[in-house]
Amino acid sequence: MIRVIPGHVPDAPPPKYDDRFDVPVLVRSHPANKPSRKQQQTAKYRPWIWSKKFPNDGWYSTTTTWRDIIKAATEVGRDVTPHLVNQPQYAHRELAARVAPLYAYLGALDFRPPYPVPGVSGRRLTLNPVYAYGTERTAKNAAAYRLGMTMAEWACRSLLGLGQTEHLELGGPVPALHEKFKNAHAKLPDLWGRHNAEATYWLIEAKGGDVGLPALRKGWAQLQAGSSILAAYPHRIVLVGTSARPKDDLFLTIDHNLCQDPRHRVFIGPGSGDDFPTGPESPEDDLGDSDDALLAAARAQMLTYFALRYARPSQLRTALVPAQRGFRRTGLITPLERTDTAAMRADAGEAALSADRSARRNRIRDIGLDDFLTCRIAETGIHLGMSRQLFAACATLHARTVELRAPSLLAEEAAELVEDEREERGLDDRRNFYTQLEEALPRLQRQLREAYETAAEDEWSDLLDSNQNLQTDAQSDEILLEAITPGTYLAVSRDMLPAPA
């Protein structure tokens, strides 16, 4: 069983990660005018510290890693995996599309706040000259959407401790309210999630780009529309604006309001009411104990599973990672620099490269290592991977979704539909698919649990139906900054970090 160190255990000072960036955050109780550049740069920042309540209004300086941001980018947004069930080879393209705008348009700049803030890196993100001078408006709008969604996911999960997010278009948190949230003509927010410690649902709207008050008011109206549907349930509305302009620091505004009517309050599960976690929540933290968490993690990682399962064999590697992965973390991931991985890999020595699979597996286990399957995502600077147990659970979920007749839209049918009709048809397909999945849930969860438990002793060749002898931690000129979660692996190329703009 993988356990995360409790939040009350003091954390060690963060290492000086090569991909650290500072992200200014302004917390407010409602939308207001966008801060001027001078206000943002001369504000008296407080360090972001986990507390028992939602942070008070004001400016905060948070420090994160590029890995954490990329992790959020790969997981947020519309779930397209039902459409990829029959064409999983396109998973690489979808993952590339999610991270490419960040690599293409974000740069770095040096900045020291006028007032000392503990732990700052002195580097912030900004938009680079490619965006400023070489990008037309349509491409800028698309990049702003992706940036806004990514940073909203990062803020709500890494900073504020929210669990897994889902796109609201599939029906939202309460089955009895699904039809209201599925109203195609309603202007509703992007995402929802469940905050276990707060015992509330969250409705989240993301805005990105040069975000001013008109855009924030529009987002707030979307949140209020969703709030009116969810009125009988305690919930929080959260508007995350990611403001970025060339030569200016990227910063976030988080406008929020806790909504609960004491006359109609419906409790949604255990929670302490006003206690906040001291670290982000993830279904991966409970893979060994909770069938719901295992299903949620498998659904969240299906894109990565497709990318691994249907990659060319020559693209696959295994990465040695600590077998005990319950580290204290301050974001969604744990950078491997803060573990003993390098020393343990050195101890593994030649055994890790042995052609004898049994000897290799036994040796790395004795040292306290596990081997995750990994793959470089084409045309990006990222590598993704996962454990054999989560891989097996995803494989089982894939097999069952094929049986449920995953949604499809034939090319000749699509050609006859205008864009709005194609969008609505695709949305209906996804909703019907998840309705079938929900009906099959008890049996599906048993199958996922069985696959997860039995895969611990499997070889990768068994899970891949291949006799290929996978290369471990292949040497190359690419310097990787690696990170793990209990079930997944992520690495970014140090040479492809945002460059000075």
Is residue 188 within 8 A of residue 168, CB to CB? The reply is: yes
355 vs 342: CA distance, rounded Å: 22
pLDDT class of 330 with cuts at 50, 70, 90: low
Q: Provide the percentage of residues in the chain whose pLDDT is more than 70.
A: 83
How many CB atoms within 10 Å of residue 415? 8
421 burial level (CB within 10 Å; 0-12, 13-18, 19+)? exposed
Is residue 76 within 8 A of residue 162, CB to CB? The reply is: no
- Average pLDDT (244-272) is 72
Cα–Cα nearest to 28, from 237, 334, 336, 293: 237
Is the pLDDT at 72 greater than 80, yes or no? yes
Q: Report the relative pairing of strands 235-243 and 200-209 from DSSP bridges.
A: parallel
pLDDT tens track for 424-434: 666 677 677 77
What pLDDT is recorded for position 416? 56
49 vs 46: CA distance, rounded Å: 9
436 vs 464: CA distance, rounded Å: 27
First-last CA distance in the chain: 45
Q: Which residue has the higher pLDDT, 136 or 328?
A: 136
pLDDT tens track for 395-431: 999 988 877 765 554 444 445 555 666 666 666 776 7
pLDDT class of 265 with cuts at 50, 70, 90: very low
What pLDDT is recorded for position 406? 52
- Average pLDDT (455-475) is 79
pLDDT class of 352 with cuts at 50, 70, 90: low
> How high is the mean pLDDT of the chain?
84
Q: Which of 205-219, 328-342, 373-387 has the lowest mean pLDDT?
A: 328-342
Is the pLDDT at 2 greater than 90, yes or no? no
Cα–Cα nearest to 344, from 379, 368, 373, 325: 368
pLDDT class of 12 with cuts at 50, 70, 90: very low
Q: Kindly report the backbone phi and psi dihedral angles of residue 251, in degrees, each rounded to the nearest multiple of 5, phi listed first.
A: -145, 160
Is the pLDDT at 262 greater than 50, yes or no? yes
What pLDDT is recorded for position 185? 74
Strand order in the sheet with 369-376: 334-335, 480-484, 488-493, 382-386, 369-376, 316-322, 471-472
SS (H, E, C) 453-495: HHHHHCCHHHHHCCCCCCEECCCCCCCEEEEECCCEEEEEEHH
In b/e form, how buried is each residue of 168-186, taking b as 16+ CB within 10 angstroms? Answer: bbbbbbbeebeebbbeeee
Encoding tokens for residue 453? 């438990």
pLDDT class of 452 with cuts at 50, 70, 90: very high
pTM of the model: 0.88
What pLDDT is recorded for position 202? 96
The structure tokens 């008050």 sit at 213
pLDDT tens track for 202-246: 999 999 999 999 999 999 999 999 999 999 999 999 999 999 988
How many CB atoms within 10 Å of residue 192? 24
pLDDT class of 480 with cuts at 50, 70, 90: very high
pLDDT class of 83 with cuts at 50, 70, 90: confident
Q: Which residues contact 359 (CB under 8 A, 6 or more apart)?
A: 351
Is the pLDDT at 108 greater than 60, yes or no? yes
Cα–Cα nearest to 486, from 345, 247, 281, 303: 281
Q: Provide the percentage of residues in the chain whose pLDDT is more than 90.
A: 50
Is the pLDDT at 256 greater than 80, yes or no? yes
pLDDT tens track for 429-451: 767 777 777 777 888 999 999 99
pLDDT class of 260 with cuts at 50, 70, 90: confident
Residues, the chain, total? 501
Q: Which residue has the higher pLDDT, 425 or 149?
A: 149
- Average pLDDT (18-43) is 93
164 vs 222: CA distance, rounded Å: 21
62 vs 60: CA distance, rounded Å: 6
